[in-house]
Chains A and B, each alone.
Chain A
Amino acid sequence: ETGVTQSPTHLIKTRGQQVTLRCSSQSGHNTVSWYQQALGQGPQFIFQYYREEENGRGNFPPRFSGLQFPNYSSELNVNALELDDSALYLCASSSPGQGHNEQFFGPGTRLTVL
């Protein structure tokens, strides 16, 4: 059973650019949640994807968008990057049939916006 993986591990972009982050869910999991963790803060919920549909969104602007594929892997896209987007981006996978609240986290992607 493979765990949750994320790519890339680190990324440097400049203000105004666009970025795509990727997450592969744990085997058998059909739900992926994305979180943003600014330095020194707890993670903040961005959105969740369940069976390829967005299923809940936190307080993030529309320039944060996502996608989930038939194999349940997911992408997080951020357009028009701002300096405050610099953070660790975490994804977590889960599955309703296996205790719907238990989530398994990936190692994160650290994004730096210059």
Chain B
Amino acid sequence: KNEVEQSPQNLTAQEGEFITINCSYSVGISALHWLQQHPGGGIVSLFMLSSGKKKHGRLIATINIQEKHSSLHITASHPRDSAVYICAVPTGGTSYGKLTFGQGTILTVHP
């Protein structure tokens, strides 16, 4: 079993729909990252959170540390939201730069 599991692997939506991507992890963590990767490769950090909820524009991230589960929500989805969304957790102990990544969720939003 992977340390970080995401679901779904692929998600197709119509513009305006509410999107939810889930992430479960099996290790104790201090924080969890949500990242966005567009075709071409560059990764953008969306959120880093250790408890509760964070909101940025139409993006909302929540985490439940006890249940080892996090969700990323996109409200009023738009075609420009189409990308791969990845959750990642630090698993390196003192090597805190070591992130273990989920396999990613490929989101396609149609107009």
- What is A's interface to B at a CB cutoff of 8 Å? 31-33, 35, 37, 41-45, 48, 50, 55-56, 58, 88, 90, 92, 94, 96, 99-108, 110
Cα distance A39–B63 when bound, in Å?
Answer: 29
Main secondary structure of the interface of A (DSSP, over half): strand
- Contact of A105 with B92 in the complex, beta carbons under 8 Å: no
- Which residues of B (70-106) have their CB < 8 Å from a CB of A? 86, 88, 90, 92-104
Contact A48 B45 (CB under 8 A): no
With A101-B30, A101-B90 already in contact, the answer to whether A33 and B44 are too (CB < 8 A) is no
Please name all residues of chain B whose beta carbon is closer than 8 Å to the beta carbon of A44 when the two chains form the complex: 101
Evaluate contact between A103 and B101: CB separation under 8 angstroms. Answer: no
| Chain A residues near B52 (CB-CB < 8 A) | none
Q: What separation, in Å, do the CA atoms of A113 and B48 have in the docked complex?
A: 34
Q: Judge whether A56 and B98 touch: CB under 8 Å.
A: yes
A88 CB → nearest B CB, Å = 5
B100 / chain A contacts, CB cutoff of 8 Å = 45
Assess the A102–B48 pair: CB atoms within 8 A.
Answer: yes
Contact between A92 and B97, CB atoms less than 8 A apart: yes
10 extra interface residue pairs, beta carbon distance < 8 Å, beyond A94-B97, A103-B45: A42-B86, A42-B104, A43-B88, A45-B99, A55-B94, A55-B97, A92-B99, A100-B96, A104-B45, A110-B41
Q: Which residues of B contact A (CB under 8 A)?
A: 30-31, 33, 35, 40-45, 48, 86, 88, 90, 92-104
Chain A contacts for B97, CB-based, 8 A = 31-33, 45, 48, 50, 55-56, 92, 94, 103
Contact: B103 with A41, CB < 8 Å? yes
